[in-house]
Structure 1
């Protein structure tokens, strides 16, 4: 069957890439997002896809039915369900568009398959309860997951909520569970090494500056043989603590020696020089794309700044995790 896909909150096209990687038969008919920079990147990589720079609430049920799509892939705004977003849940206006979609789902008679991604924490929300209740009312079978890319052999932590759903009229080989599943039904290899995603030549502009080196204790440092890295957020390179890992060619022993130094030593001017010698640097946008499993031919247009790239990547999805979930959804 040739599936017709509506990609909502499309961002830079992670769902689109995942569909291609899954090998499933079908095409993205229409994508929609209100972020103009994300749309610029999306159009750069998928010039032939119909892309709307619109609020999701402007898409009526009649219009969606007119598209004759049978699949919805979406990653609604996560801020209503995060600590930084004050966990306002259904009271957050940024949840309005998703609540609107839920409210019209019973009018979307052509939709047979749904995949939705969001931040960990969504599973505890009122919006999640509204969503799953509506799926049941509309005769969907569904399964919820909490998965990180490390579970599919990718050396990056990015724990996220996923829900896959299909109309009960379609037989499903996957046996669903009432509880949230935290692993996929097949085993994957151990995550590969960070070395696999490194660019050969990286500009010195990615090196940490002296002011940043003074806060070396908060850094999560990766090496060539590392099989893990922290979740990259949209604040990567702007803030250091909890926004993503950094890289060095230096030995683990040297890094540990410096990180074990006292706070007063790290803050002193005498200590900056040995820190400089570590050549700690941020991962490049292209390297983070690789960690998020985007295809090798995916790229950012030259008009998009490095800071904008980091922000877009922080809001994006892991392609491989979604590809594996699509295979289950359409099995």
Structure 2
């Protein structure tokens, strides 16, 4: 994406399969270490970033001295992370008591602890929009301000940053070096067509990730075939093809068994992106759900990005759906890199 001469050092907490790291690397950062608990995510991360040391453990058990030793006396220019806070996702909030009790919500506190101990020059955190109103997060923002980071927090949509996907996210950045703003929207619209139309069909593909397609019963296949091309939904089907659960007034069911639209953004790519019963994940034209490669491209991963293929399809979908879109990470990381250049360039 750009020719970078100077290297800055970063770390990626809760790294997943590496969407955030991919963007940081494109912007010129060298990730010294990553922390990730899930086995499949670590496997995928290592396929793409073999030079980065991955601490495969619960972040609550990671010793600060261990991370400092991996920095090898080098400064930490950027500490980035996406603490899992699914308890504040829009679907989970339908059951508010359960969402507030979700133990993953406390992991944002772990991110703050790492900032406090490692003292990075800049910080970046991404998360679900609902976290913005969580009392613990508000308190952490105040504590980061007291440490001198002057944090900026906003809820943005990645579709405004060149990602072909309607996906709202919370972003926070901060710096010890002076004012650091969240990168403005790039203004370039990318669509489903621009990202996946060129791909061969699963039958013709050589890419293992493009060959993976869900198998369905004949009844489900008939429902898919009857769904109008280029944006059709279950609402277009005859009544006898509607499922009982689809008649519930629940926002989580509105888009199931729907087709993507060629000349629009995709809906949010979630951990259920390879299952048409989980959302609008049908191919715009072909009678099938999208493939893992198509889902990854809609997340803005490069076409040669590696994912493990010896794991279950549901696990693969989670790796892709839970990732931070690399193109969004790149724009934010490039903005931070330019901020650092003002002081070290």
TM-score class normalised by the smaller sequence: 0.7 to 0.9
1:37, distance to aligned residue in structure 2 (A): 0.8
Give the match's secondary structure for 2:163.
coil
Which of residues 95, 98, 117 in structure 1 aligns to 2:126? 117
Give the match's secondary structure for 1:240.
helix
Gaps of 5+ in 1: 250-278
Q: Counterpart of 1:101?
A: 111
1:99, distance to aligned residue in structure 2 (A): 1.4
Is the 2:42–2:56 Cα contact (8 Å) retained in structure 1?
yes
C-alpha change, 1:211 and 1:317, in structure 2 (3 Å) is farther
1:298, distance to aligned residue in structure 2 (A): 0.5
Give the RMSD, CA atoms, in angstroms: 2.6
State how many pairs are aligned.
Answer: 287
Looking at structure 1, the residues matched to 26 and 334 of structure 2 have their Cα atoms a distance apart, in angstroms, of: 10
Which of residues 160, 166, 169 in structure 2 aligns to 1:160? 169
* Residue 12 of structure 2 is aligned to residue 32 of structure 1: no
* Residue 319 of structure 2 is aligned to residue 282 of structure 1: no
Which of residues 2, 12, 16 in structure 1 aligns to 2:17? 12
Which of residues 209, 219, 229 in structure 1 aligns to 2:257? 219
1:64, distance to aligned residue in structure 2 (A): 3.1
- For 1:137-286, list aligned pairs within 5 A: 137-167=146-176, 170-172=177-179, 174=180, 176=181, 184-185=183-184, 187-198=186-197, 199-203=199-203, 205-206=213-214, 209-212=217-220, 213-214=222-223, 216-217=234-235, 218-223=256-261, 225-238=262-275, 240-241=277-278, 243-249=279-285, 279-286=286-293
1:150, distance to aligned residue in structure 2 (A): 1.4
Deviations 1:217-244, CA, capped at 9 Å, x for gaps: 3433124x32211112112344625x34
Is the 1:114–1:164 Cα contact (8 Å) retained in structure 2?
yes
Deviations 1:81-122, CA, capped at 9 Å, x for gaps: 22426455674322333313324533333x111111111201
- For 1:287-302, list aligned pairs within 5 A: 287-302=294-309
Deviations 1:234-262, CA, capped at 9 Å, x for gaps: 12344625x3431132xxxxxxxxxxxxx
Looking at structure 2, the residues matched to 95 and 313 of structure 1 have their Cα atoms a distance apart, in angstroms, of: 21
C-alpha change, 1:208 and 1:191, in structure 2 (3 Å) is farther
Structure-1-length-normalised TM-score: 0.77
Q: Counterpart of 2:26?
A: 21
C-alpha change, 1:187 and 1:3, in structure 2 (3 Å) is closer
Q: Counterpart of 2:60?
A: 57
Structure-2-length-normalised TM-score: 0.75
1:193, distance to aligned residue in structure 2 (A): 4.5
Looking at structure 1, the residues matched to 116 and 100 of structure 2 have their Cα atoms a distance apart, in angstroms, of: 20
Looking at structure 1, the residues matched to 193 and 172 of structure 2 have their Cα atoms a distance apart, in angstroms, of: 29
Looking at structure 1, the residues matched to 268 and 319 of structure 2 have their Cα atoms a distance apart, in angstroms, of: 14
Looking at structure 2, the residues matched to 66 and 134 of structure 1 have their Cα atoms a distance apart, in angstroms, of: 26
Looking at structure 2, the residues matched to 103 and 28 of structure 1 have their Cα atoms a distance apart, in angstroms, of: 19
Is the 2:25–2:31 Cα contact (8 Å) retained in structure 1?
no
Q: Counterpart of 1:305?
A: 312
Stretch moving more, 81-90 or 43-52:
81-90
Looking at structure 2, the residues matched to 189 and 248 of structure 1 have their Cα atoms a distance apart, in angstroms, of: 22
